[in-house]
Each structure stands twice: as C-alpha cells, then as structure tokens.
Amino acid sequence: MQLQRRIGLFLISKLCMFVILWLDPILCDPQTNLLIKGCSQYNATELPVFYANLNATLTELRNQLAGPNKTFFSTSQQGQSSNPVYGMAQCRNYLSTTDCLVCFDSAVALIRTCSAANGARVIFDGCFLRYESSSFFDQTTEPGNTAICGNKTATSTNGFQTTVNTLLNDLVTATPKINGYFAAVKSAVAASGGAAVYGVAQCAQTVSESGCADCLSVAYKNIEICVQESDSRAVDAGCFMRYSQTAFFADNQITNIAQYLNTGDILGATELRGPVNFSYRDLKIATKNFSEENKLGQGGFGDVYKGVLRNGTIVAVKKLIIGKSSRAKTDFESEVRLISNVHHRNVVRLLGCCSKGPELLLVYEYMANSSLDKILFGEKHGTLDWKQRFDIIVGLARGLAYLHEEFHVCIIHRDIKSSNILLDDYFQPRIADFGLARLLPGDQSHLNTRFAGTLGYTSPEYAILGQLSEKVDTYSYGVVVLEIISGRKSNDLKLEPVTQYLLEWAWKLYEEDELMNMVDKSLSSNAYDVNEIKKIIGIALLCTQSSVAERPTMSEVVVMLLSKGQLELTPTRPIFIDATNKIRGDTSSSTGLPPINVTDSITQVSGR
C-alpha cells in the first residue's frame, strides 16, 4: 500500500511538471514551500495504540479531502480514552483536489518525523496539517503566531505597500463573513504599469465568525512589518494570511468580497455613491441635542459630539463653523464628496454629512481611544508602550503616503498634529480633521496660498512664504514623531533650557550624541531597542529639514521605518535653530555633523 502511494505521488509530480512547463504554473502547484514545522516536547504513552490512532486519523482526514464533496477542510478524532488523536487538515481553496492531496501527503510525510510526539503541526503555503492529544478545533490565535517575511523587496515600493495594506484590511473585514472563511483577491497597484498584489485569508472552519475576525486581525498586525517585501505570510493556530507581488492563484479563483465590505452599507451608502446625506433631526437626536455630556472635543472648525444612530452605530458628529453662503455650501458638498472616497485604515472615514440645517455637519466613524494628544499629554500619559508608539508612527506615515501618492489626486492635510490623530480600539492611528485640506494638481510642485495651520508643527517655507506642498505634511509628521517618542508637546516650555522648543531640543541632543535623553521616561528601557529609537529620531529630523528637497516623501519614510540593515541619516541644522543661536551668540558650525548610523532592530522572520 505504501509503495502504491509513493508511485502515485511520483506520477502526480511528473504530471504537474508537464502542466507547469506547457500550461499555466498556477494550474498545478501544490505549494509545498514549508513555513512552519513543530513537534510537541511530550511523547505519547502506549505507542502502539497511539500510532494506530494517528494512522486512522490521518487516513480519515485524507478521505474527507479526496471525497466527492470537494472539501478543503477536514477534522477527525480517533481513540476515545487511551491516547486519543485529534487531527485537522486544510488546503487553500484555490488548489485543485489533486494539488490539495499532494500537499497533504507531503505534510503527512513531514509530520511523521515527529515520531512519538503527542502533538505536531506542519504549515505549507498550500495547506496545513495538525494533530494533538486533545481537542483544538476552536482555537484561533495562540502563542507562537508570527509573520514570515519574504526576502525580496517589492519592485514598486510606493504604490505596492499602500495597495497591500488596503488589500489585507479588506480581507480581515470580509473573510469572517464568507461561508467557509476563505477569500482570494487581486488588487492593481496604482501608476505601476499593470503590477498587482495577490492576497488570501483563511480561517479554520470550526472557529466562530468573531474568532476568525480576531485571528485575522492579529495576523494583519503581524504581517504589517513585512509590507516592503514582495511576498509574505502570517500564520496562527486558526488562520492564515498571505500576499504576493506574483500570482499564486488563477484569476478565475478570485473572490468577490465587495458585498462583505460594509463600511458604508451600515449607513445606507455604498463605496461608489459618496457620502450619506443625514437629516439634521436624526443627528440632533443621535447626539442628545448636541448636549455637553456627548461632547467629545472642540477645534478650530467646530465642536465634535458622540452620536448613536437609530441602527445602533456609534458616530462622531462635527459642527462646522463656516459661512452658509451658497458658494460655501457648494464647496462644502464637493469637498465632502471627495474626502468620503478616501478609504485607508489610517485615515478616519467620513461617513456622511448634513447641509440642510442650521449648521453644516460632518459624520465620522467613532474612535474609542480619542486623540493622540490626550494619550500623550493628558491624564493617560505613559500608558502607551513602545510597540504601540511604533505602530502609530508607522501607521501615520502610511496614511500620509496614501493621501499624497496613492489617492487619485494629491491631498495635503495642512494641519497634521497630535490632536488631529485619532486612535481606534487597537490604538491604531487615524488621520482626522480635513478642514484645511487642499488638493495639489498633478502638474504643480506647490501652491502659493495664505498660511493656515498650527505654529510649532508647520514648516518655515509655508509659515513664512505661503509655499504649500505635500512636504508641509512631512515636516509636521516629523514633529509629531518627536512628540510620540518624548511624550512632550512641540511647544513644551518646560524643556531645558526653558526657551527651547521640542525640535530645537532634539537637535541639541543630536549634536551632543545624547538622543536617548529624549525618550519618554515612562517607557521601560527594556521595552525598546536603542538603535531603533535613534533611527526613528533621525528620520524625524530628516522630515523637518528646512530644505523641501531634502525631506523624504512619506512613502520613503515608510520604507525607512521598516527597513532592515543600516541606514545612514545625515540631517542638516534647521534654519530656525541657526537664527536662534546667532541671537545667543552661538558660532558653532551647521555642517559636518556626524551621521546617525544605526542598525534596524525590527524583528524579521526568514521567509524561505
């Protein structure tokens, strides 16, 4: 019997080789690239009974996969009392039945090398196999969940990374709602000459919908660190996620997930319609007549209130303080329609508006953890750990890269600051408050306009000369990063000496090679890597260069933040510091400073 099976596998492999050479390599590929193999540290007792139960379990799993129902998922339990064996197998749904069985048989051959271990698992690109001495069928996310990053940088890093993030976010949302918990999608990379990203997500069919969603959310967070690579995976006990710049499934296997992306549907809108037009009466009821108890905050463009719609959806409603002329109303509606089509996981979603009441109202998705400034400088100061801060730094960069480079027109926010960065349930950042946003035509490098923004965050060429480009947001981003690392406001006058602002202080520490004195004292020194902190401060200083040309684009910032290996960053002294030092009689040189040369310590897992 074993000889017959081996002969069968040999013939199948030869058939696959023929198809690969003459037809489409995707059509016959069991995808047995090994990702994970693990054996329990504990051995089974009564080995003859254990092996009999294990063999019966593996046979039953294969029979289910090979059965007429064309299932890609199977479970089995053999042995009721003595040395029971619980088993689970799953293939990716885009595989053929033949490829699924080849992948399964390869997993069986490998898992048997665990010998008498009472539990083991093997995960390939195309399938996984696991057995245990107790039931694990409802497990979702467990210790050991990880990302497996590829070892080749994507060829189109700018648009590629944003496309990957959008694709994975959509998979996390849609897959738990799909019968069978599997989705395969393909997304075109903007302005890349036809390049695309392929992605899949899959959960074990024995977990709950909420368990699948939780598992994929963890997988997404793990795989985010890999998005500069062309092909990466995330694995967990109950789910799997992968994306690649190269097709690994055929186009006829693509899942239509649009019907499951209900970010607009819960309010009666679709992705293509633009914003929902709410009635003033409904929003008044939702916010309890814009009561003080529902007030979330206030800004230069109006107060924000928490509201609960009739369908139970929690929203944030902003009253705008602008004119009610017909021109103002027309501009309001056209800009709302534009911003409502901005879809990115690091940009607050505009759900709708109301222009037929005593005030103009905007309706946004509600962010449970309020704004970044309240966490950094308020009563909750010190509650963010380093990983959360790093995620905010990276997420904010990704959101800005999308606005500047990936949306169909360049959107300049003009007022990036910690109070305009909101945090969701998982402390992921969302860029908010587009009251000052401007569009940059594709044929122009900058606009000349009157200054509007917040001093302390604004670049000198815009504050003084009114020259507006996307690099104004880059400058503001650099200041916010320094706030995140230090836990101090940009205009914190409690710094030493008293007259220094945050950016000036950062530059002084850079000159004196004392950058670690900038780190928030609430962070444990064991919680972060010194080289990583220095690198990120160096990136922030690059973003705040006086010369617009010397500031990186936000997509370049994302690449630097997630890069492996050494980065040589050589920022030059900002103009405002030179001017300040001249007043003080400081004659030190503004050039020839040592570069920040560090090794990135972000944990990466070898992909192959």
CA distance 415 to 436: 7
b/e 293-325 (16+ beta carbons within 10 angstroms → b): ebebeebebbbbbbbebeeeeebbbbbbeeeee
Encoding tokens for residue 125?
Answer: 């690109």
Query: Residues 6 or more apart from 521 whose CB is under 8 A from it?
Result: 487
- What totals of helices (H) and strands (E) does the chain contain, helices first? 15, 24
Choose among 490, 532, 507: nearest CA to 588.
507
Q: Is 415 a catalytic residue?
A: yes
Show the beta-strand stretches assigned E in 26-154: 34-39, 73-78, 85-91, 120-124, 127-132, 146-148
CA distance 131 to 146: 20
CA distance 573 to 511: 9
Choose among 429, 419, 417, 346: nearest CA to 389.
429
* Greatest alpha-carbon span in the chain: 91
Query: Residues 6 or more apart from 376 whose CB is under 8 A from it?
Result: 384, 418, 483, 484, 487
Rounded-to-10 torsion of CA 392, 394, 396, 402: -150
Q: Residue 391: in which H helix or E strand, if any?
A: helix 386-401
SS3 track for 311-360: CCCEEEEEEECCCCCHHHHHHHHHHHHHHCCCCCCCECCEEEEECCCCCE
Choose among 106, 13, 93: nearest CA to 58.
106
CA distance 108 to 2: 13
Rounded-to-10 torsion of CA 453, 458, 463, 467: -90
Encoding tokens for residue 428?
Answer: 């992921």
Query: Residues 6 or more apart from 523 whose CB is under 8 A from it?
Result: 385, 386, 389
Which residue among the candidates 415, 433, 473, 600 is catalytic per the annotation? 415
Question: Which residue numbers are catalytic?
Answer: 415
